[in-house]
Amino acid sequence: MDKYSMLQPLGIDQKTERVYRALLSIADATAFRIAKEAGLKRTSVYYLLEELIVMGLVSTYTHRGVTRYVAENPAKLKSLFEQKMILAERILPELQKEIGTSGRKTAIRIFEGKEAIQRMSEEALEAKDKKILSLGSSRKLIEFLGGKHGFGARRRKRGIFTRSLRFEDDEKSTGARLHDTRILPKDFNFPVFMMIFDKKVSLVLFESDGIGLLIASENFANAMRSLFEVLWAFSRIPARY
């Protein structure tokens, strides 16, 4: 890692980090001294110091008519991003309202590769109605993705109930809490894995590196729910979970 790239994941660029860390090392200084320590032009340092003041990482005071700068404790970084999280939580519902306002009622997203499919599957954990219907081979999905990745535990923690239609040779459920399972007929052929939640349907195609489709459509989701319920009625209750 570059010496001055420690804060880049937090959205703070290298020059801004150089100024902040230079001031941390001397605690209290003029812009001229900070520029010298950071190895940057003083005109640039003035601008960067203003950015740090807005972030709450630097404060100022005047001594004998000269503006001096003081580095705030790095713990302020945590407070800064906690405030941003609070703000994000406030504005997220408003942004969510904008989804689909263009009039397009169906949206299809394509996910290529196992990591992308894993991210697609995570969207089911955001189910607003706290219900997931799944159809297909869980064993095949787990083998394909290289593990369970704690999906079931996180689903239960969020209080999401799931009903699953599985094959005879599938992974057995690790617990019946918030989970109901039935076994599909032996002659039923379903070579993909499907999840239905809210107004969305996700499909995993076990081809090559994997292809995932996430379809946001109320009509399509309702059609797949109807298919699921028909299959549920013809499927049997497993002997044991």
| Residues paired with residue 213 on neighbouring β-strands, in sequence order | 110, 203
What pLDDT shows up at residue 162? Answer: 92
What's the pLDDT score for residue 241?
Answer: 44
Query: What is the model's pLDDT at position 226?
Result: 93
Model pLDDT, residue 104: 55
Predicted model pTM = 0.57
Residue 1 confidence (pLDDT): 46
Domains and CATH numbers, the chain: 1-100 (1.10.10.10), 107-234 (3.30.870.10)
Collapse the DSSP code of 228 into the 3-class scheme (helix H, G, I; strand E, B; otherwise coil) and give the result: helix
Q: What are the pLDDT digits (tens) for 185-224? A: 888 888 899 999 999 999 999 887 889 999 999 899 999 9
Residue with tokens 């869980």: 138
Residues of the chain with pLDDT under 70: 1-4, 96-105, 149, 171-176, 239-241
What b/e sequence results for 28-38 when a residue is b if at least 16 CB atoms lie within 10 Å of its CB, and e otherwise? ebebebbbebb
Distance from C-alpha of 45 to C-alpha of 36, rounded to nearest angstrom: 10
